[in-house]
A and B are shown apart, each in its own frame.
Chain A
Amino acid sequence: AQSVTQLGSHVSVSEGALVLLRCNYSSSVPPYLFWYVQYPNQGLQLLLKYTTGATLVKGINGFEAEFKKSETSFHLTKPSAHMSDAAEYFCAVSTDSRGADGLTFGKGTHLIIQP
């Protein structure tokens, strides 16, 4: 079975500063990795995903993540935080190429942007 650990339930950064949200996974087979964002009272929106190929993945809204197999990590970064980035962020893993077994999520990180 796979699992996901997100370090830090809350992360606070200043507007314009680097955003770094940490995600480590556990999987016995090559994983498919995802980051989702959730704004208040809304569903989840896909930020980016890693399936195969290039380990540095670029997503929407200036976010990117790097798959590091040796560290079992998939940390999310953004060079310069914007007030509109304030939201809940979820890292997730799947091991089924058909997508039939669903996603296993971390507990989420609430990103706070200080003006």
Chain B
Amino acid sequence: GAVVSQHPSRVICKSGTSVKIECRSLDFQATTMFWYRQFPKQSLMLMATSNEGSKATYEQGVEKDKFLINHASLTLSTLTVTSAHPEDSSFYICSAYTGTSGYNEQFFGPGTRLTVL
């Protein structure tokens, strides 16, 4: 099956620093990648949709200058949380969509737990 990796799995940083999270599709080319955020005991919240070679589409309420997304290739998308603050602490999950699966399935990475002190 399709495998998506995320790195790092956990990160702890000081307030004001920037953190980069990588999302890679390991055995397929992802035409589209999605970035989600999930707070404790809540469902996934879509932050942005990223297509290779074009600008990401951000959901309402998500600051594009704070959450920088770069989809440089068909196998890699990165999310950079700039000037992180404690309220940015969350579980960040990426998913990749091949566009060829008969199920229209999104394949999820294992997630990144961000803690901002």
Asked if chains A and B come from one complex, the reply is no
Residues on A close to B: CB < 8 A?
Answer: none
Residues on B close to A: CB < 8 A?
Answer: none
